[in-house]
Structure 1
């Protein structure tokens, strides 16, 4: 399953990536229940599986015997196939190297309930200038200060490793603990380092972060409070902190060395190890496009079961937006804490000097801007271009570019990847490129470090620059840190949108800052350590959610994973996020989930909702009918409360939502089940229908859940992919 790679850690102009599978490997699920869901071994609410318990040991032996019987069957019936991994916590499954054995053969084995090819997953690219965007400082105050936020909570970073030498991860003041795995990459803050992959021995890879993605993600979760930062030689005017600075971390390196991808079994093994190692939260800033039979089913299953077994799993939604139906897997898992990405209003900017005026620009990840570049401008127009200023998009499908030898090309953003654009202007001889946004915003363009130097400029500034075609311009190498308040809280255009395929769930669940996030980098990534960088992607939003979950879990250690997840999702801020294309405030649940995360509100949450949102699937618009779903409401406040649930923002026509049993008094810890119904009118127009369920405690709205129904067929039908319009 292909997604934005580690070499492209920021926004990219691209459509849906092709699903990828490794057809040499399969995952096979066996009939017996895994430990997470077996009634004899499933943990009590707020607890973990007791691996030293006699019943758990007996069930592990039973599962091992079942898996051994499958291996015996393989030796007789599929002698070329070889079991490579075995799993018993989240799923009862084995990884199999096929060596030419067809899947149909594995599916015919006794006790096999499901077999699929393994997917291929990649990191989904890349401290906010102000953690107040998600109300972190208020939450710190509520839990006793930053030094207590996340204390006692363990967060697993399933990624590319963590550079333990970075001051973000200094263990000064942390108590001495037992460290696991490759201890040359651990300390008393990063307490585990494990590495995965079938080629690690051959290639000599270990747990070191040679990518940078994992260190960046880990810094957002738990960088030590108020760590001094300099990025690209530019002093950052604030001292970054992680969301949960007192948390401890584990490095589960599924992208070791130069490996840009991982198979399903590597990720499953890392998830299982993290659970067995006692971790409370897992961060998976990774994903792949949906491919039935490509690892999605069992990874989704594992995420759900680990949540049931009391480990919160935060997962990136994907970087395939804008456009509905673009959520990646396993972010589509029903019980995943799935992150969408919003913008942070800051940047490290350079300037372009044209006719005596300096324009702010952001340098992309292509050629290195090590010295000023001065050359004449060449504005490249295209009468057929959809760019609002009529600029050529410089895509492979665009009209041929003119000779740009020795010039700075001025082209438009939209449609194809940034790398494709820069490859084409480089071939045409340009020494640099100014890419003009189709919006008035700045972000870092993703690339693979090859081609001409390229910078992004806003649409307004781009229009002014275009008036000087042929004039000499200078791209200045010196950077400055700039706060851009007007660019804050806009949905990142790359952020993937729901609904999910098949089950039509609302995803992402909730949004966090993900575009232009400052965090740690390994020492090798900069000329001077410690190293910092600004990355963008749902990968960067996800660790905000993992950090918030850690703060909530630290404040409420007896809550179940589902209750922690509900606190993060169902208390989100609404009517603050703006649409990436229109810049208008949007509460579209398929884009923003329940809204922008609110750490303070999550810590203070009084009720938990399960599920965190309700999807009523697809309803025919011909005759009209009703679909009813259950919602479990639990009092997590510690005192008896009066709870009322009511529908807000019912659609004007087409579908009506209603709730029964919507008012009740709940004792501390008690739950009640309410029913919510979606009713389509006869002849309702095809389309998406949304509403909101407000949950009031003592007469004040304390939580909310989003409601969603699809009516009809065509582009709105389940399983149909609505092609993104190419705006990123």
Structure 2
């Protein structure tokens, strides 16, 4: 077996039987035909031998206007246009079919270009090109939970803004976001919605999908894809002022449509939207969108970092790929932008029991979600017929009578919320969803369209057996258990960020079952409302909060706004009483009143001490924290820095007490001495705490000992045929000491007998790596058909395994 030239490869995965999967991290990729010094870095998963057209984002060595400004250099649009033109001219001389789509100069220096994948090596070798990034797909970070009729809406229903303290700020301080402009970079906004019309002027923003000045949502009937409502929902959370109120009801809005029909879009439009928002004078921008790329240096994250440097508060959703660590995606990975996780507001918890016949028990029965408590409790003590509706797809309900009954549905293929909605549409009064693999379903989905109870696979099979025996009635017992405080949503993505090892999210905010505006696309009935959930819904709470802070403190920098929200956030605890890790909740859930009234700031809002790699040598890590006294009197502060549990092997030193003059600042050095010989490998959370007589501020910190536990392999791809040969490609974020490929039979539902190993490789570098295979095991050609292939990567004693279903033909 021959190892091929290391390069990117097309994202091509037939069927996943992944045992562990995470987002992709960037890798500098070099061609084997030239010295690395002569080529730009490639951060893309592209098959460089493919004749398929592809679009990429090109970053130039020539600095953008904002980057040059902050480095004390002179730069102009004219110079950038000249340099960019020279690069494009040289590229098109070598690749005549290269088509430039968008050009960037303000925050990001470069352009997007469509060309054949096999022409990318020529692009990498073009003088003046610094890096090439994938034009990845971005999607909205939200899930529908239910449309709400206009007559059912009242200000009291919008619980999340009052919960974080926005109402108190409006009523006691008269601060409502007036004079602050928030850019909504999303699917567009229905600026005609009665609750939003006040926030828009003559200039509404820009549509980067259709390239015009009408950033309206995608309407029904667009042949390119589905209708959208996401950006309007986000905008309502920020600044609605009608039947519902957003967090900053008097803020002004600008809309930038970068996600088109169906709620998806690409990097080239997202970067263009960020640039335009800054140039249009936005004070804050909200990006409730994302992908699975856990890396800080993708084009979108770079643009956001420079937007923050230019004084625009950038707020972004952290992603909906939780609850595992390392699941945060770009642009939530940005070094500077405020990344937001999602929480569920305090709620009542209920227990469920089911009865079908004597001696048949369903111990795994639990309430998964419900539309409201009245509907849930209406099932208590009642018996209903139930019917098997397969996977709960629309077609599964065809010919089935579930009106007034319970729909029994198997997990899989479509989201839980869609299964419940389809059941409601068919007239069902409730849903029972059972797992498609052994064990229970570890997810709760608040706000389901109808009351939904979840079961393990084993209990689901019992219900199917009961149905087969003619016992088609189920009785419910629903009982109140307890009131649960604010909790982090299971779906909310977790950090840290690869390479920078930063804590993400930065903060959390309500993101479950959030009521806000949506378009109706009907001028005669314009009042549209829906409850949605996702980190998409959490992010605009923070953008609105930032608007309140900027109205009250117009001279605050973006770093001060971010620090105020982080320093004063409320720490969250899981239902079992343990504090959520910082990589789960960030600094905590935002509290606007505390942030706007704070008398001191600690900057930055969080800090990573990075990694201590050496096992045999003590290492010293340092950081500086700035204390800002916002009062008119000299104040004495007590400073404390410590790691949770005060582990032996970590010594922390800092100033204990100090005085800071009125409206002044002072820097405190924090020194950590790590002795790896006394520490277990892993990561350690700590906090830098500032106290005075009336306030306590916290800066979360993190330190890693030995190689962090990121997934050793994040992507595994297979392509090819018997005639041309097969290609196996893996991406290893930190390289691997050993990489092995294994082959198993495929039984049709699971991996079967072990066939043998394709090969084992050592000291594999950090990057995409390709391997050719002739389809043989121990010299014997495998028959045509489907096989389960597994890649196992090991580094620093940790192994990650990914599998896929491959067809040999």
What range is the shorter-chain TM-score in?
A: 0.7 to 0.9
* 2:602/2:628 contact within 8 Å kept: no
C-alpha separation between the residues in 2 aligned to 1:545 and 1:169? 18
Q: Which structure 2 residues correspond to residues 449-468 of structure 1 after superposition, within 5 A?
A: 455-457=451-453
Q: What does residue 601 of structure 1 align with? A: 594
Distance 1:723 1:443, change over 3 A: farther
SS in 1 for 2:107: coil
Q: What does residue 86 of structure 1 align with? A: 103
C-alpha separation between the residues in 1 aligned to 2:202 and 2:322? 40
Q: 2:258 aligns with which of 233, 254, 261?
A: 254
Q: What does residue 135 of structure 1 align with? A: 165
Q: Deviations over 1:572-616 (max 9, x none)?
A: 012x442xxx65342310111111111011112333333321112
Q: Return the index of the structure with the highest Cα Rg.
A: 2
Within the alignment, does 1:531 sit opposite 2:548 as a pair? Answer: no
SS in 2 for 1:303: helix
Provide the TM-score with structure 2 as the length reference: 0.66
Distance 1:158 1:457, change over 3 A: same
Q: What does residue 540 of structure 1 align with? A: 537
Distance 1:149 1:463, change over 3 A: farther
C-alpha separation between the residues in 1 aligned to 2:368 and 2:472? 18
Q: What does residue 189 of structure 1 align with? A: none
Q: Deviations over 1:260-293 (max 9, x none)?
A: 321111011101110011001000000001177x
Q: What does residue 590 of structure 1 align with? A: 583
* 1:35/1:41 contact within 8 Å kept: no
Q: What does residue 112 of structure 2 align with? A: 95
* 1:438/1:458 contact within 8 Å kept: yes
Q: What does residue 118 of structure 1 align with? A: 135
Q: 2:684 aligns with which of 689, 696, 702?
A: 689
Q: 1:24 aligns with which of 51, 54, 71?
A: 54
Give the superposed CA RMSD: 4.5
Distance 1:652 1:671, change over 3 A: closer
C-alpha separation between the residues in 2 aligned to 1:656 and 1:332? 28
Q: What does residue 338 of structure 1 align with? A: 339
- Bigger share in strand: 2
* 2:432/2:455 contact within 8 Å kept: no
C-alpha separation between the residues in 1 aligned to 2:113 and 2:173? 46
SS in 2 for 1:690: strand
Q: What does residue 488 of structure 2 align with? A: 491
* 1:346/1:516 contact within 8 Å kept: no
Distance 1:561 1:494, change over 3 A: same
C-alpha separation between the residues in 2 aligned to 1:217 and 1:552? 19
Give 1:626 shift. 2.5
Distance 1:143 1:101, change over 3 A: farther
Distance 1:678 1:549, change over 3 A: farther
* 1:443/1:456 contact within 8 Å kept: no
Q: 2:659 aligns with which of 665, 669, 690?
A: 665
Q: 1:376 aligns with which of 363, 371, 385?
A: 385
C-alpha separation between the residues in 2 aligned to 1:626 and 1:636? 32
Distance 1:109 1:591, change over 3 A: same
SS in 2 for 1:685: coil
C-alpha separation between the residues in 1 aligned to 2:110 and 2:417? 41
Q: Which structure 2 residues correspond to residues 164-175 of structure 1 after superposition, within 5 A?
A: 164-171=191-198
Distance 1:474 1:62, change over 3 A: farther
SS in 1 for 2:566: helix
Q: What does residue 433 of structure 2 align with? A: 435
Q: What does residue 234 of structure 2 align with? A: 217
SS in 1 for 2:231: helix
Within the alignment, does 1:510 sit opposite 2:507 as a pair? Answer: yes
Give 1:18 shift. 7.9
Q: What does residue 248 of structure 2 align with? A: 244
Q: Deviations over 1:190-233 (max 9, x none)?
A: xx231113x668xx996335401001111111111xx33xxxxx
Within the alignment, does 1:75 sit opposite 2:92 as a pair? Answer: yes
Give 1:662 shift. 5.5
Q: What does residue 569 of structure 2 align with? A: 572
Distance 1:82 1:665, change over 3 A: farther
Q: What does residue 194 of structure 1 align with? A: 206
SS in 2 for 1:341: strand
C-alpha separation between the residues in 2 aligned to 1:261 and 1:488? 34
Give 1:458 shift. 6.6
Within the alignment, does 1:151 sit opposite 2:178 as a pair? Answer: yes
C-alpha separation between the residues in 2 aligned to 1:434 and 1:15? 28
C-alpha separation between the residues in 1 aligned to 2:246 and 2:182? 12
Provide the TM-score with structure 1 as the length reference: 0.73
Give 1:669 shift. 4.7
SS in 2 for 1:515: coil
Distance 1:311 1:659, change over 3 A: farther
* 2:629/2:635 contact within 8 Å kept: no
SS in 2 for 1:524: coil
Distance 1:296 1:378, change over 3 A: farther
* 1:81/1:101 contact within 8 Å kept: no
Q: Deviations over 1:35-68 (max 9, x none)?
A: 22324797xxxxxxxxxxxx98x62222222212
C-alpha separation between the residues in 1 aligned to 2:604 and 2:579? 23
Distance 1:361 1:322, change over 3 A: closer
Distance 1:320 1:114, change over 3 A: same
Within the alignment, does 1:613 sit opposite 2:606 as a pair? Answer: yes
Within the alignment, does 1:208 sit opposite 2:241 as a pair? Answer: no
Structure 2 unaligned residues grouped into runs of 5+: 1-19, 26-43, 47-52, 144-156, 220-227, 357-365, 372-378, 435-439, 713-732, 735-797, 802-809
SS in 2 for 1:282: strand
C-alpha separation between the residues in 2 aligned to 1:85 and 1:671? 45
Q: What does residue 299 of structure 2 align with? A: 298
Single out whichever of 311-320 and 622-631 deviates more from structure 2.
622-631
Give 1:138 shift. 2.7
Single out whichever of 153-162 and 584-593 deviates more from structure 2.
584-593
Distance 1:444 1:15, change over 3 A: farther
Give 1:516 shift. 0.8
Within the alignment, does 1:163 sit opposite 2:172 as a pair? Answer: no
C-alpha separation between the residues in 2 aligned to 1:643 and 1:508? 28
Give 1:484 shift. 11
Distance 1:501 1:308, change over 3 A: same
* 2:294/2:328 contact within 8 Å kept: no
Q: What does residue 60 of structure 1 align with? A: 77
SS in 2 for 1:279: coil
C-alpha separation between the residues in 2 aligned to 1:691 and 1:538? 25
Q: 2:125 aligns with which of 86, 108, 115?
A: 108
SS in 1 for 2:647: coil
Give 1:354 shift. 8.9
Within the alignment, does 1:703 sit opposite 2:705 as a pair? Answer: no
C-alpha separation between the residues in 2 aligned to 1:717 and 1:362? 32
Structure 1 unaligned residues grouped into runs of 5+: 1-13, 43-54, 181-191, 229-239, 365-371, 381-392, 446-452, 476-482
Single out whichever of 17-26 and 209-218 deviates more from structure 2.
17-26
Distance 1:723 1:143, change over 3 A: farther
C-alpha separation between the residues in 2 aligned to 1:321 and 1:340? 10
Q: Deviations over 1:666-693 (max 9, x none)?
A: 3425352523425244142122211111
* 2:238/2:541 contact within 8 Å kept: yes
C-alpha separation between the residues in 1 aligned to 2:317 and 2:444? 23
